[in-house]
Amino acid sequence: MNTSTRSTGRTLWVAIRAIAVFTVLIGGVYTFAITGIGQLIMPAQANGSLVTNADGEVVGSALIGQAFSDADGNPLPQYFQPRPSAAGDGYDGANSYGSNYGPENEDLIAAITERKTQIAEFDGVAEDEIPADAVTASGSGLDPHISPEYAAIQVARVAEARGLSADEVRDLVAAHTQGRDVGYLGEPTVNVLQLNLALDELDG
């Protein structure tokens, strides 16, 4: 066996051992360690930030939006409505996607105009009161939050549909409004799923 063959053999053997070692370390030890730390320190987040109702049933995730509509796709008046979604048929976690339309795209302009008309009629507000997030989808199509401004224009409709006072519903919105991250990052938001679950509990 010549020197070149021996050198190639040694190199191959080193490569095989390196693959085996790093497979065990990275694919096994590291994965189990991080999973264990996650379950110990932040079990809710590690398991997908799942949200349960009053009966303990999982009804969604605090990180993924969902529609509150009937079988025909019509929005339910007793629930706060999320922002539009371009992910699949809407809030499809396996098909996260934005429309990618530019601000001058004719299809986007037409969609925004149509949404404004629908929301103005549904919530009984003027079109110029409707905030941008009510008529535009997020980049992921999965945003579970709306702005406090969008929640505010829905209060009267939700209160009427549930037979509650507007002040009761408004207080619930305030209680579920999350401030800016670390005090200055981003904008205040309202998690629609958590707010609607709180409404169901308040409504008995």
Each residue's pLDDT tens digit, 25-56: 888 888 878 877 877 776 667 777 778 887 77
Position 122 confidence tier, pLDDT thresholds 50, 70, 90? very high
Q: What are the residue ranges spanned by the domains of the chain?
A: 3-43, 50-202
**Helix (DSSP H) and strand (DSSP E) numbers for the chain:** 8, 5
**Taking the complete model, does pTM exceed 0.75, yes or no?**
yes
Q: Which long-range contacts (CB under 8 A, 24 or more apart) does 88-95 make?
A: 88/141, 90/141, 91/64, 91/65, 91/66, 91/67, 91/141, 91/142, 92/141, 93/64, 93/142, 95/141
Asked if residue 1 has pLDDT above 60, the reply is: no
Question: Among 189, 94, 180, 91, which residue's Cα sits nearest to residue 145?
Answer: 189
**pLDDT for 12:** 83
Each residue's pLDDT tens digit, 130-162: 999 999 988 888 899 999 999 999 999 999 999
Contact between residue 80 and residue 67 where contact means Cβ atoms under 8 Å apart: no
The residue written with tokens 């799923």 in the block is 193
Each residue's pLDDT tens digit, 68-113: 999 888 999 999 999 998 888 888 888 887 778 888 899 999 999 9
Position 204 confidence tier, pLDDT thresholds 50, 70, 90? low
User: What mean pLDDT is predicted for residues 176-190?
Assistant: 87
**pLDDT for 14:** 81
Asked if residue 15 has pLDDT above 80, the reply is: yes
Asked if residue 126 has pLDDT above 70, the reply is: yes
The residue written with tokens 């904008």 in the block is 187
Question: Among 75, 81, 52, 73, which residue's Cα sits nearest to residue 192?
Answer: 81
Q: 157: exposed, middle or buried (C-beta count within 10 Å: 0-12, 13-18, 19+)?
A: buried
**pLDDT for 42:** 66
